[in-house]
Structure 1
Amino acid sequence: MEASILQRMINEAEPGSSIVLPEGSYSGYILIDKKLTIRADKTVLSSITADPAVVVKGDGAVLQGLAIKQGDADEETAAVLVQADNVVLMDLNIKTQGFGIMLRDANEATILNNEIAWKKIKNANGSISGQKGNGIDLYNSYSNRIEQNRIYNMKDGIYLEKGSQLSIKENRIYSSRYGIHCMYIDESQIVGNIGEYNFTGAMIMGVKDTRISNNSFLKQSWNVYSQGILLYDVQTSTVERNQVDGNRVGIYMERSSNNELKENSVNRNFIGIQMLNAENNKLHYNDFVANVIEAEAVNSKDNDIFHNYWDSAQGLDLNDDGISEIAYSINPFYQQLISDKPAFQLFFQSPGMAFLSSMYEGNRDQWTTDSSPFMHLNVAGDHISTLSDTGGEHVLSEKTFMLIIACMLLATASLIIIYTGGSKS
């Protein structure tokens, strides 16, 4: 059936009224240009052109329950395009070859409980049509709520650029490039989201006065540059009570200052935290457990770091107050070495590299240091035994993980011997 049937119902409805779209499959697109509440009853709308399947231009419009299949999309085509204020989109099921939901100059919208995924289609010659876009893409839009959505296999799960007072809560994003990607936003809340098996869980850039709290970023590890949370040019923001587990790098900070990181659980990453040109931040009451390398820092000496737990630290508590009298200093040797000679990543955490790091004492007074590390966990550690399950795969147990690391060390030890032996000939 043609979507013109649905469009006729919309055109004939009085502003402010409610309509229910009839069951069935419809081909084409619809325009909502007035305040209406539109609910779908097993209604499927398929667009086979490069135009959006749904365009919303009516302030206060509500669209609920529609299944949308967006085909023949180019890079900038969205299944749903919103160009109005106070719009509500909820319970939509979107399969798209381009973008999912796109907001442009759209304020105070509610995007709630939608499922968005890339629609992979192979052509007769075996090529794949369409180009992945972002699941939810927001530009120059303010005071929006994006909550409880499930997004997977997209470019970026949620992309936010030029906005403020945004609420990004309880979304689940996996198998995408960046789970949550922020550019030039402020005064926003990123709370309770889950990101798994993405390139990076949260890419936070050019952000200020934002709270990043109670999120879980797990298993971002398939690329050498994968991170759980990346903070670049982030100012006066709070990163607290996040679970960052099983990533290539747990938390990466660069050119970021005047932020507070507290009560985060950073566990079983290859590198727990990396800091580069990050100054005047406050890091306290975080836990760093079972990371291959707990921390690396370069040109990041003026941070207030205290009362974190580092399971690799050599602590000594003489007065039984739970705080070590021995400071924990972050050795920058490995990070500086691989920035000059990237090929040395081959010897990551090898015995030879560990030995060279232990011998390095240059400019020790400028090393980033936890002045008073805790002797025990700050945050309850029960949640680090298992991770949430996306596709039936469970994270390895602690013992299995450490066994794999031991095998890696043996293998890299052999490479060190071969490398150093060859260099003498």
Structure 2
Amino acid sequence: MRSKGVVLFLVLTGVVLLNLALTNAVSTIYAESAAEIPGAASDLPSLQQLVDEASPGETLVLSEEKYAGPAVITKKLTIEGGKTAIIYNETPQAAIQIEASGVIVRGVNILQSTAGEETAAIAVHADSAVLEELRIKTVGFGILLRDSDATLIQNNEISWLRAAGEADTKLSQKGNGIDLYNSHQNRIEQNTIAGMRDGIYLENSNGQNVENNRLYGSRYGIHCMYVKDTRVHNNQGEFNVTGAMIMGVRNVQVTNNSFAKQSQNVNSQGILLFDVQHSAIERNLVEGNRVGIYIELSKDNQVIENSIIRNFIGIQFKQAEGNTIEANDFVSNVIEAEATDSRANEMRGNYWDSAQGLDMDNDGASDIPYAINPFYQELISKTPAFQLFFQSPGMTFLNEMYTEDEEHWATDSAPVMKLNGASAMLALPSGDVEARTVISDQTFMLIIATMLLVTAIITILYSGVSKT
């Protein structure tokens, strides 16, 4: 009995420690409390006064630990915070508002505790600003650009500032981490954004470079609306409603990104394309999402060499035409593909792990095309309750019997017999993110079975010892 009590104690201790570790990890990303704001920011040195006293072109070094905002900068200045200076702002104005070209703000911490309409920690209304190594906690927006071109936003941390004692704010009531409107040729690189409405929001802003950012716990990690000639490269998004929402754009490159674990919402996708034209979606890893890649009302796009892994639905088309879907790997998705009202899409050379292929001439491609049967999607769109019968024997039988309008089904004309390559490895952002090995369903089941067998043996042996 004593040994049994020791084992139970160790198991319970491990569970408690694991729970604490998971709780702390989540808290690190999402739980920023307003309790750290001093009671009277008005008693602190005024940042505006220091800005007013500085000469144009001067470097203003913030030597004190704490300052009071807001401050409006109307001349070219460099503000250096040394990563220790903190600006507290309790007004509905931006903590720092930039109205002059060439302003640099570096190494400053900002706590924006009051929000008005589109209130941001930093608002930029001029060109060629540099914002880097900032740590921002806000109840509004993080960084706001309006009519601002050629600005660099780099290596910043932006998160939601939760009021002390208050429940989590709904995503729809929050501001965006980085928000651009009518601002062109900007660089948004190496930023970490957590718990905001949209991580990075671009509207009517062309020629952006969005690269090496990490986006967590937001509605849309990256949200592009009515932009063109923009590059979204090597970003990582997890636990958002949708990793990347690409809408109403032309000539956008979405490449080498990783969007994973967007699955907690019925509208979750890794990458969503809506009204997208002449764009490239290449070498991305979309893993563990409700829908890996969703394409609607989009045409003339290239979806090439993506790794689409362990999603509920791998890829989904709706009224999408003239797109090229080539050399992608579909692995361990519950439903590999769905398509409705989507014709003239060119599909070839993709790997489908559930396809029944036959390669008679040993060219690496199956001689049997792989057609996407629309039966299940059309059925549940008319009667959602039929989702309860998903993968039931009757549903599977009806799906195999359905052949209506088969000549117009989305079809991979030459599915490949083996994985196209190390696309999943190539799609991972550089840095400390490790490559994730894809295992087959059979291997996964073998692992589970082995674990169950070992557990059963231990239970039998332990029960026998206890009886003696």
- Say which of 330, 335, 344 aligns to 2:372: 330
- Alpha carbons of 1:163 and 1:370: their partners in 2 closer, same or farther (altered >3 Å)? same
C-alpha deviation, 1:355, in angstroms: 2.1
- Alpha carbons of 1:127 and 1:75: their partners in 2 closer, same or farther (altered >3 Å)? farther
1:266 aligns with 2:318: no
1:107 aligns with 2:187: no
C-alpha deviation, 1:353, in angstroms: 2.2
Between stretches 176-185 and 128-137, larger displacement belongs to: 128-137
Question: Partner residue of 1:412?
Answer: none
- Taking the aligned partners of 1:129 and 1:197, their CA distance within structure 2 comes to 16
Question: Partner residue of 1:307?
Answer: 349
Between stretches 4-13 and 254-263, larger displacement belongs to: 4-13
C-alpha deviation, 1:299, in angstroms: 1.2
- Taking the aligned partners of 2:48 and 2:291, their CA distance within structure 1 comes to 50
- Alpha carbons of 1:198 and 1:23: their partners in 2 closer, same or farther (altered >3 Å)? same
- Taking the aligned partners of 2:224 and 2:253, their CA distance within structure 1 comes to 12
Whether the 8 Å CA contact 2:56–2:77 is kept in 1: the answer is yes
- Alpha carbons of 1:389 and 1:37: their partners in 2 closer, same or farther (altered >3 Å)? closer
Other structure's SS at 1:142 match: coil
- Say which of 129, 138, 159 aligns to 2:201: 159
Whether the 8 Å CA contact 2:284–2:424 is kept in 1: the answer is no
Whether the 8 Å CA contact 2:306–2:424 is kept in 1: the answer is no
1:5 aligns with 2:46: yes
Question: AA paired with 1:53?
Answer: A
Question: AA paired with 1:354?
Answer: T
Alignment of 1:5-404 (within 5 A): 5-41=46-82, 42-74=84-116, 76-122=118-164, 126=166, 131-380=173-422, 383=425
Other structure's SS at 1:165 match: coil
Whether the 8 Å CA contact 1:148–1:172 is kept in 2: the answer is yes
C-alpha deviation, 1:73, in angstroms: 1.4
- Taking the aligned partners of 2:213 and 2:429, their CA distance within structure 1 comes to 17
Question: AA paired with 2:243?
Answer: G
C-alpha deviation, 1:390, in angstroms: 11
- Taking the aligned partners of 2:438 and 2:365, their CA distance within structure 1 comes to 31
C-alpha deviation, 1:139, in angstroms: 0.7
Question: AA paired with 2:345?
Answer: N
Whether the 8 Å CA contact 1:254–1:278 is kept in 2: the answer is yes
Deviations 1:252-290 (A, max 9, x none): 000000001100000110100000110001111111011
Question: AA paired with 1:16?
Answer: G
- Taking the aligned partners of 1:260 and 1:108, their CA distance within structure 2 comes to 29
Between stretches 65-74 and 189-198, larger displacement belongs to: 65-74
- Alpha carbons of 1:198 and 1:307: their partners in 2 closer, same or farther (altered >3 Å)? same
Question: AA paired with 1:118?
Answer: W
- Alpha carbons of 1:97 and 1:397: their partners in 2 closer, same or farther (altered >3 Å)? farther
- Alpha carbons of 1:63 and 1:400: their partners in 2 closer, same or farther (altered >3 Å)? farther
- Taking the aligned partners of 2:257 and 2:218, their CA distance within structure 1 comes to 17
Other structure's SS at 1:336 match: helix
Cα RMSD after superposing both structures = 2.7
- Taking the aligned partners of 1:115 and 1:347, their CA distance within structure 2 comes to 45
Whether the 8 Å CA contact 2:257–2:429 is kept in 1: the answer is no
Question: AA paired with 2:59?
Answer: S
Question: Partner residue of 1:420?
Answer: none
Whether the 8 Å CA contact 1:289–1:310 is kept in 2: the answer is yes
Any unmatched runs of 5+ in structure 1?
Answer: 408-425
C-alpha deviation, 1:134, in angstroms: 0.6
- Taking the aligned partners of 1:388 and 1:359, their CA distance within structure 2 comes to 46
Question: AA paired with 2:52?
Answer: N
TM-score by length of 2: 0.81
C-alpha deviation, 1:399, in angstroms: 5.4
Question: AA paired with 2:175?
Answer: G
Whether the 8 Å CA contact 1:61–1:88 is kept in 2: the answer is yes
Whether the 8 Å CA contact 2:112–2:139 is kept in 1: the answer is yes
Other structure's SS at 1:164 match: coil
- Taking the aligned partners of 1:36 and 1:293, their CA distance within structure 2 comes to 55
User: How many residue pairs align between the two structures?
Assistant: 402
- Taking the aligned partners of 1:121 and 1:75, their CA distance within structure 2 comes to 18
- Taking the aligned partners of 1:390 and 1:345, their CA distance within structure 2 comes to 39
Whether the 8 Å CA contact 2:47–2:68 is kept in 1: the answer is no
- Alpha carbons of 1:169 and 1:388: their partners in 2 closer, same or farther (altered >3 Å)? closer
Structure number with bigger Rg: 2
- Taking the aligned partners of 1:264 and 1:222, their CA distance within structure 2 comes to 22
- Alpha carbons of 1:388 and 1:256: their partners in 2 closer, same or farther (altered >3 Å)? same
- How many percent identity over aligned positions? 52
Deviations 1:73-105 (A, max 9, x none): 145211111111001100000001111111111
- Alpha carbons of 1:382 and 1:244: their partners in 2 closer, same or farther (altered >3 Å)? closer
- Alpha carbons of 1:397 and 1:317: their partners in 2 closer, same or farther (altered >3 Å)? closer
Whether the 8 Å CA contact 1:75–1:99 is kept in 2: the answer is no
Runs of 4+ in 1 over 6 A off after TM superposition: 386-391, 394-397
Other structure's SS at 1:119 match: strand
- Taking the aligned partners of 1:22 and 1:129, their CA distance within structure 2 comes to 35
Whether the 8 Å CA contact 1:21–1:43 is kept in 2: the answer is yes
